[in-house]
A = this chain, B = another copy of it.
Amino acid sequence: MSGIAEVARRAGVSKSTASRALGGTGYVSDDTRLRVEAAAAEIGYVPSTNAVSLATGKTQNIGVVMPYLNRWFFAEVLEGIQEILLERGLDLTLYDAKPASPGRARIFGDFLARSRFDGLIAVGLEPDHHELEQLVRIGRPVVSVVGSGDATSIVEIDDDYAARRATDHLIALGHRRIAFLGGQTDRHWAQVDRRRFGGYEAAMQDAGLADSVRHIESDVTLPGGYAAAVDALSDTRNRCTAVVASCDEVAIGAIIAARRLGVQVPGQLSVIGIDDHEYAEMFSLTTLRQSPREQGRVAVDMLLAQIADPDEPRTAVRMKAKLIVRSSTAAIDPRVSATVIDGGLDIPSAAGA
């Protein structure tokens, strides 16, 4: 006797329970799982997953498709997903689907159709109509992290709430000339950034500040926020006293720009972000905290529930970001708000401190 039968005997469970415990799918108590794993380790048994896969239709593999790998939010979500999959003994197959890239067309055309996974997590994917059809056609459970509309189960933060809360914080500090920084209306304007701009706009309107609504456009990256803020802050006649950034990377870019131009943060400019990025503490950034890692973990739980029971209803989890006040925001200095600032700024050419 060898293989799974021997593992089952040593662990004192049935063969099917031993299979479930090692397969990572289907319910097994933690205690049983540990016993079965220990028995498997004793005899050096490793399940032959390809054979299992053909027999049961389960690949023990979860697909993850995302448009960026090298941004904080996406890397954090991926780490959260990976963490749970490792615990459950499941593989993670990654698809990098940059917007409007040839690779993306291949992923939707070939890779997803091949369906070498039991379910799919789509992170910030924002599929177009055709892509959404392709997603549905693969006939596997799909969970989205951030914005694929109502077609799938979804985990995300309430973006409208986060941006309103950020804007209200600045209004409560006495700011009136508050700009929104980030996103480009004439290029790829992600739904998440549009929703955040919408939340800012609504908060401004509610406070009777509709006339002060201003969108400073930028790439939604740290260098993007920096470049746009250098430009906007250099216009001393028309300078805002506070900025709601579409995310922390953009906010940090704005703080670096302000320091470069000699604009005091928060003395002359308050900056607030959304994220609680790993650099936020270092820049004393006031922000609305979300946990992308937690969103990744929750997405896996939702997906495994759907794989176990395909009749599981679609669900939407919208988390509330939490205001973390650090010292990049402060009550407006009455001297700053009352007059037009005339700074005499040097626009940096390239170098230096």
Contacts and interface: CB of A to CB of B under 8 A. Distances in A.
Interface in A175-211: none
A167 interface: no
A223 B282 contact: yes
Contact of A82 (B47, B89, B94): B94
A352 B284 contact: yes
| Assembly stoichiometry (copies) | 2
A6 to B, nearest CB: 17
A228 B282 CA distance: 12
Contact of A327 (B86, B262, B351): B351
Interface in A80-95: 82-83, 86-87, 89, 91-95
Contacts of A352: 264-267, 284, 327-328
A37 B87 CA distance: 38
Interface stretch (A67-75, A147-155, A240-248): A67-75
B61 A110 contact: no
A258 interface: yes
Contact of A86 (B92, B103, B266): B103
Contact of A75 (B70, B263, B282): B70
Interface stretch (A49-57, A157-165, A312-320): A49-57
A350 interface: yes
A281 interface: yes
Contacts of A59: 50
Interface stretch (A13-21, A111-119, A300-308): A111-119
Interface in A41-65: 41, 46-47, 49-51, 53-54, 59, 61
A69 B75 contact: yes
Contact of A259 (B86, B113, B259, B265): B259
Contact of A116 (B75, B82, B91): B91
A109 B22 CA distance: 13
A93 B350 contact: no
A100 interface: no
Given A54-B54, A69-B75, A83-B103, A93 B96 contact: no
Given A49-B114, A78-B96, A284-B351, 12 more contacts: A46-B110, A50-B116, A51-B54, A69-B82, A70-B76, A86-B96, A86-B111, A89-B106, A92-B95, A222-B282, A264-B352, A327-B350
Interface of A: 41, 46-47, 49-51, 53-54, 59, 61, 69-70, 72, 75-76, 78-79, 82-83, 86-87, 89, 91-96, 103, 106-107, 109-111, 113-114, 116, 222-223, 226-227, 255-256, 258-260, 262-268, 278-279, 281-282, 284, 326-328, 350-353
15 contacts: A46-B114, A50-B54, A51-B54, A70-B75, A70-B79, A79-B96, A82-B95, A86-B96, A91-B111, A93-B94, A94-B94, A262-B353, A264-B353, A268-B353, A326-B350
